[in-house]
Structure 1
Amino acid sequence: MTKAELRKKLLTERQNLDAIFVQEASILAQQNLMADNIWKQSQQVIIYSPIRNELRTDLLLNDIWASGRKLLLPRCDDTNGQMSLVHCKGEHELEKGTYGILEPRAHCTVVDYDDPEFSPSLVIVPGVAFDATGNRLGFGGGYYDRMLSRAAFNHATFVGLAYSFQIVPALTTDPWDKTMHALCTEEALQWL
């Protein structure tokens, strides 16, 4: 099966998930992540805003905001095909942006990837599929691969957050694809 065929198959399966299953699986997956020391010890965390029935991240967001740690959310820029990271201090700073994704409002501070203060410790990465060795299949736009290839991410931990059915035996990879250090589903957090 080609990447495009697998992407289409899994996106259709995800889109057809029952709302109650999405809610229950999202809670379990987030709890699995929050129980791990990597979550408890990370000071600068990057989390995605879910779309198209991706696992929700609301518990993670609220936990970061309550703890006072730094939360960074992506903001897509279609004009240059890049993704900016933006400091977000609470739900009140979110609005619908590109692709209907909740993003930090325009007044929120955009991170300078070259700033020495920017040192992400944990990146929660969405995907259409992941394989048993941490390879990722995204939507095909390359936003995450371009962002994660920057030097500031060399010491960050990448955790793919997905439903268990999105974990496949093997994916075809390209040289620019970034590998996850762990996968977190409604069943477990698995270090690779």
Structure 2
Amino acid sequence: MSLQKSKIQLRKQILQERRSLNPTVWKEKSFQLCKNLETFSLFQSAKTILAYFSIRQEPDLSFLFNSSQKWGFPRCVGQSLVWHIWQRGEILETGVYGILEPQSKAVMIDAAEVDLILVPAVACDAKGYRLGYGGGYYDRMLSSPEWYSIPTVGIIFDFAYLPSLPKDNWDQPLNAICTETKLLMI
């Protein structure tokens, strides 16, 4: 079986499991994940954090967005992620993939300002590799010099933490993984 085919099948399987979560269970798992993340020293010391708005029952990080940190969220522009500051209550737009995004006129964030990146994932493995949605946006960003030294945390539920994942040579490992029951440094 080819690497891409195995990634596609694994992605389909885990997304199906995530979609099957009861909404109450999903919210509770998300809340516990956020509580776990709040105990992480890198989170506590970060002044500017990049995050995401949950889609397809990804872990919901919105419980964190009232904290004192400055929050950045991506807009998909061409093949890149462009990051903007966002505060609760500011208007969001629906982007090309149906994901909520800050407005294009929102203040942009430079990589030099960022202390921590919370990375959405379909699955993560024990070596910090991540299975994403297949667009390559995060791998491209994290491989560029201005971003690769910023700490990254993969955000998943326990069932999406696997011993190993198929990986390509462009896949970028993460520094840590956070689930609803554990926080693992890689």
Same-fold call, TM cutoff 0.5: yes
Coordinate RMSD, CA, aligned: 1.5
1:176 shift after superposition = 1.4
Query: SS where residue 86 of structure 1 aligns?
Result: strand
The residue number in structure 2 matching 1:86 is 84
Within the alignment, does 1:158 sit opposite 2:156 as a pair?
Answer: no
Residue 116 of structure 2, aligned match among 101, 122, 135 = 122
Counterpart of 1:50 in structure 2 is: 54
State the 1:119 CA deviation. 3.2
Aligned to 1:177: 171
Aligned twin of 2:74 = 74
CA drift of 1:175 comes to: 1.6
Unaligned runs of 5+ in 1: none
Find the aligned partners of 1:112 and 1:91 in 2 and give their Cα distance: 22
- The CA deviation at 1:81 is 1.6
1:112 CA drift (Å): 4.8
Q: In percent, how many aligned pairs have the same letter? A: 37
1:25-65 residue CA offsets vs partner (Å, 9 max, x unmatched)? 000000000112111101121001110000001012222xx
Matched residue, 2:135: 141
Aligned to 1:35: 39
Q: Distance between the aligned counterparts of 1:91 and 1:124, measured in 2? A: 21
Q: Secondary structure at the match of 2:180?
A: coil
Once the two structures are TM-superposed, the CA of residue 106 in structure 1 deviates from its matched residue by: 2.4
Code of the residue aligned with 1:28 in structure 2: it is: Q
**In structure 2, the residue corresponding to 1:103 is in which secondary structure?**
strand
The answer for unaligned runs of 5 or more in structure 2 is: none
2:16 alignment partner in structure 1: 12
CA distance in 1, matches of 2:116, 2:91: 21
1:70 positional shift: 2.2
Query: What TM-score does the superposition give when structure 2 sets the normalisation length?
Result: 0.92
Q: Secondary structure at the match of 1:152?
A: coil
Match of 1:106 in 2: 104
Give the secondary structure class of the aligned counterpart of 2:146: helix
> What SS does structure 1 have at the residue aligned with 2:121?
coil
Q: How high is the TM-score relative to the length of structure 1? A: 0.89
Q: Distance in 2 between matches of 1:109 and 1:92?
A: 12
Q: Does 1:190 align with 2:169?
A: no
* Corresponding residue pairs, total: 182
When residues 54 and 148 of structure 1 are mapped into structure 2, their CA distance, relative to the original with a 3 A threshold, is: same
Shift of 1:93: 3.3
